[in-house]
Structure 1
Amino acid sequence: MTASDTRQLLVDAATRAFAEHGVHNASLLEITRQAGQRNRGAVHYHFGSREGMLAAVIEREVDFLGPRERELLALARETPDDDLASVLAAVVRPAIELAETGWRGRCYLQIVAQLVDDGGPRIPAEVHDVLSRTGGYDVFQLLQERLPAMPDAFRDERLALVTTFLLRAVADRARSEDREIPGRPQLPTEDFIENLLAMVTAMLTAPLPT
């Protein structure tokens, strides 16, 4: 087995573990075991640290997400300044397309949702650098510009909650297809997208509490 093969096995094991147990709680030793490696230091040898491994997990999807998000962001920039749905679509559509590629895409969405919950300052610099290669940060910059005026604390809270909701809703929908026992009926993909965009637009523009 080559070093590249070993690295791939470790990234796969980490992807599952980070999604299931949490980015900060997943056991590196268990990841090593699940990857079939006997060397307890395999993670540090190949990635340097937990953060380095997390960056490798995120990086695997960059080439898929980056071009697609930027393509849709360019279309969103051509819409009126109060059009939030077109901006949100630049996140939603690539996420759905990624989730439909298989378990790795679905786990990725769960992991990024965790990072959003953690908040910007807690995201390791090397992970932040990888995420910046997607179009996500540019999408949310435009979204902030188009939001109705509100205090920063409310704006930041809404954006964080909406991002987490979007990612998890998409991942949960895709994961439902893997269940042995069918869950509730699912909307057709395009109806799901349009309904989700309508819901999150309403969340972002809801009246502020008095």
Structure 2
Amino acid sequence: MSKPPGRDRKRGAVMKNLDFGLDARVIRTYYICQLTIRNSFKPSPMSRRWALSVAVSNPDSGLNSTVRSDAVATRLRIVAAAERLFAERGIDGVSLQQINRAAGQRNRSAVQYHFGNKEGVIHAILDKHTAGIERRRHELLDEIEASGKLELRRLAEALVIPLAEKLDDPDGGIAFLRVNAQLIGHPDFPLLELHAQRVNRGADRLHRLTARACPDLPMELWMSRWLALGGLLFHGMADYAQLTERNGGAALNIPRSVFVSNMVDCAVAVMEVPQSPETDAELERSRRPDEETPHV
């Protein structure tokens, strides 16, 4: 049976690529990606996020062609433009076309091609910064576990410091904090659901250690306090950054080190404050299956 002439040309192209150092798995992945793009007008944001994270975190993965580097550079420009616009105008106040123009893309569908939709762009912004935060948090948690002392303040430092260091990150760090503050309670892009879709081992590890450090705190209250901490940290840091920018580097005369240390104090206070008799009564009432919890 004769082979279609096109197949030999494709095989020749593959062999030519092999001569330039690309292994067979990379080439196979490339062809699968091309088929996916042809068969879907709007590629999955998750697949785009995967491709971006692999390319950025592993530049020696074998995809060292000009096409790959150009695609990664385009995605990074789009992400940088998006996080800046979201921080300045609000997530709901920015369209994909505005992101496209701010990123200098002549192709009007560039954002949709690389990220699918606005949620895909938001995921990419979170992915861009979360990896560094996770690494720093693991470093701090390693030090805590090596010391053999599970102190709540040091755990609070592992929560606060990796986020506070974003205040000094010139590559969109402050924008990242502002975007997260907007996502808290957002009707379309709720922060908890967005973070639940990614693997945050540092955050999971911190949660487990904090639960061990607060053994007498009921689970319902522990979870409620973590929810409160998210709003406290992201809104507090975003507001501090905004005041700093508007006042020439001084936010209400609060030095950066004082602000960060006080945020750690606030986190400790939220986790270790004793629950009131009123809260104990409500908790006991909520656990009775035969009674309805009154709505406030």
TM-score range, shorter chain: 0.7 to 0.9
The answer on 1:34 being equivalent to 2:71 is no
**Match of 1:195?**
262
SS of the aligned residue for 2:245 comes to coil
**Match of 1:80?**
149
**Structure 2 CA distance for aligned equivalents of residues 144 and 163 of structure 1:** 16
Mark the CA change 1:183 to 1:69 in structure 2 (over 3 Å): closer, same or farther: closer
Q: Select 1:172's aligned residue among 227, 230, 239.
A: 239
Contact 1:116 1:160 in 2 (8 A): no
Contact 1:17 1:26 in 2 (8 A): yes
Q: Which has the higher contact order (CA 8 A, sep 6+)?
A: 1
Contact 2:240 2:251 in 1 (8 A): no
Mark the CA change 1:124 to 1:138 in structure 2 (over 3 Å): closer, same or farther: closer
**Structure 1 CA distance for aligned equivalents of residues 208 and 183 of structure 2:** 18
Aligned length: 203
Unpaired runs of 5+ residues, structure 2, are: 1-69, 279-296
Contact 2:123 2:194 in 1 (8 A): no
Mark the CA change 1:180 to 1:124 in structure 2 (over 3 Å): closer, same or farther: closer
Give the superposition deviation at 1:21.
4.9
**Structure 2 CA distance for aligned equivalents of residues 196 and 24 of structure 1:** 29
**Structure 1 CA distance for aligned equivalents of residues 246 and 171 of structure 2:** 12
**Match of 1:46?**
114
Give the superposition deviation at 1:90.
0.9
CA RMSD of aligned residues (A): 2.9
**Match of 2:25?**
none
Amino acid at match of 1:70: H
Contact 2:156 2:264 in 1 (8 A): yes
Give the superposition deviation at 1:159.
0.6
Q: Percent identity?
A: 29
Deviations 1:95-153 (A, max 9, x none): 22222123611121233344454353x3276xx32xx2562232223223322534433
**Structure 2 CA distance for aligned equivalents of residues 66 and 124 of structure 1:** 13
**Structure 1 CA distance for aligned equivalents of residues 133 and 111 of structure 2:** 26
Give the superposition deviation at 1:30.
2.3
Contact 1:65 1:94 in 2 (8 A): yes
**Match of 1:123?**
194
- Using the size of structure 1 for normalisation, the TM-score is 0.79
Deviations 1:47-73 (A, max 9, x none): 223232222212222442222110101
Amino acid at match of 1:144: A
Give the superposition deviation at 1:11.
0.5
**Match of 2:222?**
155
**Bigger Cα displacement from structure 2, 37-46 vs 18-27:** 18-27
Give the superposition deviation at 1:164.
2.2
Mark the CA change 1:145 to 1:29 in structure 2 (over 3 Å): closer, same or farther: farther
SS of the aligned residue for 1:135 comes to helix
Q: Rg: which structure is higher?
A: 2
- Using the size of structure 2 for normalisation, the TM-score is 0.59
Amino acid at match of 1:170: M
**Structure 2 CA distance for aligned equivalents of residues 168 and 44 of structure 1:** 30
**Match of 2:271?**
204
Contact 2:141 2:158 in 1 (8 A): yes
Mark the CA change 1:135 to 1:18 in structure 2 (over 3 Å): closer, same or farther: farther
Give the superposition deviation at 1:165.
1.0
**Structure 2 CA distance for aligned equivalents of residues 158 and 19 of structure 1:** 26
Mark the CA change 1:79 to 1:109 in structure 2 (over 3 Å): closer, same or farther: farther
